[in-house]
Amino acid sequence: MNLMDLRSKEWHAGAMAAASVTPELMGPSPVGAHTVAGNISPYFVGEYGFSPECKSVTWSGDNPCSVAGMRLENAGDGCISLGTSDTIFALLGVPTPKIEGHVFGSPIDPDGYMSLICFMNGSLVREGVMQKTAGDWDKFGSLLGTTAAGNGGVTAFHYTHPEITPNVGKAITAYFDAGGNQVDSLPAEQEARAVVEARFLSMRLHAEVIGLKMSKIFATGGASQNSAITQVMADVFGADVYTMPSPGGAAVGAAYRALNADDCATAGAFVPFADSLKKAEGAGAEPHVSLASSADPAATKVYDGMLAHFGEVEAKVQALAAN
């Protein structure tokens, strides 16, 4: 809700006043993500057969749970989640809030923080362009392989809903040639690459605004299982991309958080998240992620050179939507 004071971890009086909410409406003060709130509601015991001793852990969202599921550990570790909406997020040592994006408390460290930027038009947009240009994901990947990094300078923006990042107030689809001039359409192979490149270029552009640069990327969500897409991700950011065998990083992370909370409750003190995982897995456990794509330095150099131009064209789309 962005109503918590990041330093005191209490509800922020000024933010609540600006949002016209009262402390009574907010309820109890925030607590750490490792906190056991109590036993499960009797409703779930009677309706679904849970044990009455089953513990309930304080709530978190899908992206913070992905931090836990992907096992981000150090400030600067970053994750890209490709779902109905796309997000890029990373752990922070010191919170530095900006107008753009969000800063939350860390879901795995009571003294840590995480930053997040959300993009509304995600997997449904990619699926629509895939159906239009290729018909299935294998052919879509092949189309990406027929075009070079940078797409010859052409770009496209597919906003089937108003966009959060950048702030675009209405649905709009726009195509641009290498000179930044608006055109009516693109060939199928260029449109296929454009929808993928635009997402990751926009992510990189806006992440750098809030000082987020990643040397290693953990990717989750359905599209993270597509090697053609993760290759573009790696090339745009100039970083290796790692994925899990399953795209469900958030669900895995929720289970990890429950495990850690139970350890904390048993110990009567905070138990480091990594210690809970080590104890659960034992020695010789398989790595939880594997290398999916490595950045091609030549391709990354192309994207480095086009980032400023991409930002200018993205601003044109914002202006078009505002008119």
| Full set of structural domains in the chain with CATH | 64-249+285-323 (3.30.420.40)
* Residue 266, token pair as written in the block: 């048993």
Lookup result for tokens 């052409």: 154
Side by side, the strands of the sheet bearing 172-176 are 155-159, 172-176, 182-183
Q: Which of 108, 316, 64, 106 is nearest to 198 (CA)?
A: 316
Q: Within a 10 A sphere around the Cβ of 265, how many other Cβ atoms? A: 15
**What is the pairing mode between strands 155-159 and 290-293?**
unpaired
Tokens of 71: 């096992």
Q: Which helix (H) or strand (E) holds 24?
A: helix 23-26
Phi and psi at residue 163, to the nearest 5°? -100, 145
Confirm if 212 and 78 have CB atoms less than 8 A apart.
yes
Q: Please tell me the predicted confidence (pLDDT) of residue 136.
A: 94
Beta strands in the chain (DSSP E): 36-39, 55-57, 78-82, 86-92, 102-105, 113-119, 155-159, 172-176, 182-183, 216-220, 240-243, 290-293
- The region, left, alpha or beta by phi > 0 then psi within -120 to 50, assigned to residue 214 is beta
The 8-class DSSP code of residue 215 comes to S
Tokens 């330095």 belong to 297
Sort 173 into a burial class: Cβ within 10 Å, 0-12 / 13-18 / 19+: middle
- Non-local (6+) Cβ contacts of 71 within 8 A are 256, 274, 277, 288, 289
- Give me the residues of the chain with pLDDT under 50, please: none
Distance (Å, whole) CA 93 – CA 111: 9
Q: What is the pLDDT of residue 70?
A: 86
Contact present, 173 and 161 (Cβ < 8 Å): no
Burial 10-43 (b: 16+ CB within 10 A, else e): ebbeeebeeeeeeeeebeeebebbbbbeeebeee
**Residue 294's CB: how many other CB atoms inside 10 A?**
13
Strand partners, 89: 79, 116
pLDDT at 284: 54
Which phi and psi (to 5°) does residue 37 adopt?
Answer: -80, -25
